[in-house]
Chain A
């Protein structure tokens, strides 16, 4: 059929039905693909403008760049593993709890989001250092004689990176878990399944799309990191993004920087296709029912069978472990569900403390009399707050960042939602390729995008405008928005729409009354991710927002030049207080509404 006229019209037809993905593609092609490939073109020409492979040959001259690539992957992999394992119980608890406990938990989980990468890393330096908080506690308690080496190694990099990435993992998984029907539990229990079986054989498989999406997002985002490994690691934890920045800044060798960026890109695309091969895009796109048995490769089917056996086995192991525990002499007759709940809460609290502690730790530092991040803080002073409030620059930066962040978030959700629908509902030709393309901005180091956009925007007068900056930030946040909404759609039974239509609802009513309530969590999560992504972005802001207007990360980063002063802790504390107040107000409004 391929190649014939009917095949062609059919494919055309598929594209028409998948229109939703077009705005996203148009944006990515014009604001990302074209500018960036013009910059990367430098990697295939030499100084005289002739086609040349010299930059790529340099990659192979020594094992250096491949070793760095290896450590980049290794760090990203471990970060992903830690985020998924530690984040899953938190997401599960959030999805199965209601009311106040839940909203305050969300607040705690989001804590790392509101502090910039730089400040967070310095907080970890003070917590994990030789004379840091943790070592002070350990020696005071007499647990160690000499301070432990907790920092400047692989472990501290993983701690810093998973701290940064965990909210992303938790919220992505939560968005999916929220849509798992609780009645399934009851049905299974009625049929005699034990708690452990219910979890492993029903809940866990249904939550897997969320886990897969979270894993992919965390892994790919981690690949482009470099502030955290630079500040918390040793030279063995060098990441590829660092090499690229050095080539661009110190050598002005954009050709070779482009070659390194291409290496990073190719490696990430390879990972994505391996992901596709093993888990199947179905894990993300949701057409598992339709295609898994037919189209999916043998590997997909094999892994599905394997997965089924593993979850079944885990169910049995859990059930027997619970049984054994109950039979231990001297155990009170505590309900099994109660007991599980206690263990779950304990685990979740540990993770939540890990996530929130550094932010709270910054509060006393912001009142310190010393001009450094120091523990315990010396003296008391309000000078850092005075600096903030006395300077119009800081206020202007803060306001502008919030404004740009909100616009970016709105734009990402508006463009991302139809794209997510098209990608998960429609048969689009070469869907994996489209998907890989959409994820690309996540791996591309910001300095490359910033330079590329500067060249492109300079030609059309967008440099120095808020609109240009918003467009640039949307490129980075769009992939997050699309993947999060897709993960929610994965569990959305389209027959609900059909039922509504049958009952006489128009398409619009169906969307408003059926679809929107279901995907709302996903859209809110997508909004939040996009906002935070923009709120914390530095490099593109430096280039695109032009000379005179500044954003918060720019201002914070400038302040950290000679030493990282408690002004930055004060900024974090203010944002923390602001967000907390907003959330509490939101909840109070919500509760009053409920009362009516």
Chain B
């Protein structure tokens, strides 16, 4: 009952708390309150690095407004809803929002209108902007594979299904939309509007799932987090893994024998929204407009291989980098835009169907 050994953990914790208290002494909650600030949320990591260089610092230089970058989750819809409904704003504007999320936010009336005037906004293609959303970049879902496993390059999604010619391990994304887009392409449907025609016709969904049935036994990993897809390709866990161009390229950049096939890829936009009622909405609009400039969009591509939405940005981008970007004309013409409106309408049903199909074992 009387514990002899009374030293270790008590003293450990004692010195732990003393030690940490010592480190903590310098004030922790110093908030820099410059004359004018704008709090911008982004997905963090390389986005913060790239955008600080391309947008945040230059914006401050030009306007004197300091940008405070903060991190948010990759899908900030719950943050938007909570902030707007409570009228309590952690940040004034948010970037890196996928177009499908933006559609949901617009439909739920959670965002401020933007200022789409001026030459920089006029240069932006019509499908990259609307009253409430401005997309500054494009990400493409492409076929990626390990070049050390195959003698010949893979040329289309149909090659995933060719298990004789391209024997090897496959990884697929645990997401209905992307898998159905891929399956129908592999089944001979051309990308773009044709896909949705097939799905809206009777038997369209069954056709997609029948095609997926064929490949299911070959799929070793169903990935969920995009960082994981890069890891899978990089360490050779799988040989074929359709993923976002940026993830596959980050693995290739790290020296892994990984290549992407643009052919048949499908892209969606990612961009900026302002939460409805944000107190600094005017400043935020000014900032969003700044992000439409060609030279600014060109600047982020050295760190982040997303495609600039302003076509004039390519005047400022080195050829070596340009060829890797989704909106590089040569790449863009091989790919098609995902129909966000269609998937918005069908998301609940398709997700449920897909998850049941996955669980069926």
A interface vs B, CB < 8 Å? 62-64, 67-68, 98-99, 102-103, 106, 122, 125-126, 129-132, 149, 151-152, 178-179, 181, 183, 230-231, 234-236, 238, 246, 248-254, 370-375, 378, 396, 399-400, 402-403, 406, 447, 451, 454-455, 458-459, 463-464, 466, 517-518, 520-521, 524, 527-528, 542-543, 546-550, 554-555, 557-564, 579, 582-583, 585-587, 589-591, 593-594
- Taking a contact as CB atoms under 8 Å apart, the answer to whether A562 and B222 are in contact is no
Task: Give 10 closest A-B pairs by Cβ, nearest first.
Answer: A558-B44, A590-B7, A458-B86, A561-B45, A458-B88, A586-B12, A103-B8, A586-B11, A235-B358, A563-B230
Q: Give min CB distance, B217 to chain A, whole Å.
A: 12
Instruction: Assess whether A371 is in contact with B5, with CB atoms less than 8 Å apart.
Output: no
Contact indicator per residue, chain B 221-256, by CB within 8 Å of chain A (1) or not (0)? 110111110110011110000000011001101111
Residue in contact with B7 in the complex, picked from A231, A406, A555, A593, CB distance below 8 Å: A593
How long is the Cα–Cα vector from A278 to B40 in the complex, in angstroms? 54
With A372-B234, A582-B16, A589-B11 already in contact, the answer to whether A561 and B47 are too (CB < 8 A) is yes
Task: Give Cα A250–Cα B231 distance, bound, in whole angstroms.
Answer: 24
A586 adjacent to B361 (CB under 8 Å): no
In the complex, what residues of B have CB within 8 A of residue A253's CB?
348
Q: Once the chains bind, are B31 and A587 in contact (CB under 8 Å)?
A: no
By a CB distance below 8 angstroms, the chain B residues around A64 are: 352, 355-356, 359
A563 to B234, CA, bound (A): 10
B5 touches A550 (CB 8 A): no
- Is A586 a contact of B15 with CB atoms below 8 Å? yes
Would A558 and B231 be within 8 Å (CB), given that A103-B8, A454-B86, A518-B1 are in contact?
no
Find out whether the CB atom of B230 lies under 8 angstroms from the CB atom of A520: no
A–B complex contacts, Cβ < 8 Å, 16 sampled: A64-B356, A125-B228, A131-B235, A183-B1, A236-B359, A372-B235, A403-B20, A406-B17, A547-B41, A548-B68, A561-B46, A561-B227, A562-B246, A562-B250, A589-B11, A590-B11
User: Which residues of chain A come closer than 8 Å to B24, judged between CB atoms?
Assistant: 399, 402-403
**Nearest chain B CB to A168 CB, angstrom units:** 16
Instruction: Give the chain A neighbours of B31 by CB distance below 8 A.
Output: 548
In the complex, which of the residues B87, B90, B227, B246 contacts A564, with contact meaning CB atoms closer than 8 Å? B227
**Min CB gap A287→B, angstroms:** 20
Interface residues of B in 54-105 (CB under 8 A from A): 68, 70-75, 77-79, 81-82, 85-88, 90-91, 104
- Taking A103-B9, A236-B359, A586-B16 as given, write out 15 further A-B residue pairs in contact, using a Cβ cutoff of 8 Å, ordered by the A residue number: A106-B8, A249-B77, A371-B250, A372-B230, A374-B235, A455-B85, A542-B73, A543-B90, A547-B90, A559-B45, A563-B227, A563-B254, A582-B15, A587-B11, A590-B10
**Least Cβ–Cβ distance between A199 and chain B, in angstroms:** 19
| A562 and B231 contacting across the interface, CB-CB below 8 Å | no
> Are A252 and B108 closer than 8 Å at their CB atoms?
yes
Beyond A234-B222, A400-B28, whether A563 also contacts B251 by CB under 8 A is yes
Closest to B70 in A: A547
* B34 close to chain A: CB less than 8 A: no
Contact B44 A231 (CB under 8 A): no
Q: How far is the CA of A48 from the CA of B11 in the complex (A)?
A: 59
In the complex, which residues of chain A have a beta carbon less than 8 angstroms from the beta carbon of B174?
Answer: 235
Contact pick for B71, options A63, A451, A558, CB 8 Å = A558
**Least CB separation from A226: chain B residue:** B224
Q: Are A373 and B12 touching (Cβ within 8 A)?
A: no
B35 on interface, CB distance cutoff 8 Å: no
Which residues of A have CB within 8 Å of B19?
582, 585
In contact, B14 and A586 (Cβ under 8 angstroms)? yes
Give bound CA distance, A372 to B7, whole Å.
41
Give the docked Cα–Cα distance between A528 and B8 (Å). 14
A148 to chain B, nearest CB (A): 13
Asked if residues B231 and A152 are in contact (CB atoms below 8 Å), the reply is no
- Complex Cα distance A550/B39, Å? 13
CB distance from B73 to the nearest CB of A (A): 6
The reply on B126 being an interface residue by CB < 8 A is: no
A403 touches B3 (CB 8 A): no
Count of chain B residues near A, Cβ 8 A: 87
Which of chain B's residues have a CB closer than 8 A to the CB of A152?
220-221
Give the one of B11, B226, B251 with max A CB within 10 A: B11
List residues of chain A with CB within 8 A of the CB of B48. Answer: 558
In the bound complex, what is the Cα–Cα distance between A582 and B74 (angstroms)?
Answer: 36
**Chain A residues in 8 Å Cβ range of B75:** 249-250
Q: Determine if B13 is an interface residue (Cβ-Cβ < 8 Å).
A: yes
Q: Tell me the complex Cα distance, A561–B228, Å.
A: 9
| Complex partner residue of B15 from A68, A400, A585, CB under 8 angstroms | A585
CA–CA, A543 and B73, complex, Å = 10
Alpha-carbon separation in the docked complex, A402 to B28 (Å)? 11
Residues in A neighbouring B4, C-beta threshold 8 A:
98
Number of A-B residue pairs, CB cutoff 8 Å, is: 237
Residues of B within 8 A of A63 (CB): 356
B169 contacts chain A at the CB level, 8 A cutoff = yes
Please give me the residue from chain A that is nearest to B230 by CB atom. Answer: A563
Chain A interface main SS type: helix
B330 at the interface (CB under 8 A from A): no
Chain A residue contacts of B169, Cβ below 8 A:
130
For the complex formed, measure the closest distance between the CB of A475 and the CB atoms of chain B, giving whole angstroms. 18
Nearest residue, chain B, Cβ from A400:
B28
Chain A residues contacting B222 (CB-CB under 8 Å) are 234-235
Nearest A residue to B47 via CB reads A561
A521 to B8: give the CA distance in the assembly, Å: 11
A373 cross-chain contacts in B, Cβ below 8 A: 231, 235
Question: Given known contacts A447-B78, A561-B74, A590-B7, is B13 in contact with A524 (CB within 8 Å)?
Answer: yes
Q: Does A458 lie within 8 Å of B87, measured CB to CB?
A: yes
Contact: A62 with B352, CB < 8 Å?
yes
Closest to B221 in A: A152
Contact check, B254 vs A528: say whether CB atoms are below 8 A apart. no
Contact indicator A594/B88 (Cβ below 8 Å) = no
> How far does the Cβ of A25 sit from chain B's closest Cβ, in whole Å?
26
CB of B75, distance to nearest CB on chain A (Å): 4
Shortest beta-carbon distance from A469 to chain B in Å:
12
A560 and B235 contact, CB distance less than 8 A: no
CB distance from B250 to the nearest CB of A (A): 5
A32 to B270 Cα, complex, angstroms: 36
Partner of A378, one of B2, B88, B255: B255
Residues of chain A contacted by B73 (CB below 8 angstroms): 249, 542
Q: Say whether A129 contacts B351, CB under 8 Å.
A: no
Write the nearest CB–CB distance from A91 to chain B, whole angstroms. Answer: 14
A378 nearest in chain B by CB position: B255
From B9, B15, B71, B225, contact of A231 by CB (8 A) = B225
**A125 (CB) vs chain B CBs: closest residue:** B231
Contact mask B195-223 → A, CB, 8 Å, 1/0? Answer: 00000000000000000000000001110
Q: Are A591 and B7 in contact (CB under 8 A)?
A: yes
Say how far A391's CB is from chain B's closest CB, in angstroms.
10
Q: How far is the CA of A129 from the CA of B174 in the complex (A)?
A: 19
Closest A residue by C-beta to B255: A370
Instruction: Tell me the complex Cα distance, A563–B29, Å.
Output: 30
B29 lies within 8 A of A466 (CB):
yes
In chain B, positions 25-44 with a C-beta closer than 8 Å to chain A are 26, 28-29, 31, 39, 41, 43-44
Closest chain-A Cβ to B251's Cβ sits at a distance in Å of 7
Q: Which residues of A contact B361 (CB under 8 A)?
A: 236
Contact between B108 and A560, CB atoms less than 8 A apart:
no
Chain B residues with CB under 8 Å of A542's CB are 71-73
A179, B1: Cβ atoms under 8 Å?
yes
Chain B contacts of A251 at CB under 8 A? 347-348
Decide if A131 touches B8 in the complex (CB within 8 Å).
no
Which residues of B are found within 8 Å of A103, using beta-carbon distances? Answer: 7-9, 12
Which B residues are in CB contact (< 8 Å) with A527? 13
Q: Are B234 and A246 in contact (CB under 8 A)?
A: no
Contacts of B231 in A (CB 8 A): 122, 125, 372-373, 563-564
Do the beta carbons of B224 and A594 come within 8 Å of each other?
Answer: no
Per the bound structure, the CA–CA distance linking A555 and B44 in Å amounts to: 8
- Which residue in B1, B230, B356 is a CB contact (below 8 Å) of A562? B230
**Which residue in A399, A517, A587, A593 is a CB contact (below 8 Å) of B3?**
A517
Complexed CA–CA distance, A563 and B235 (Å): 12
Q: Is the CB of A561 within 8 A of B108?
A: no
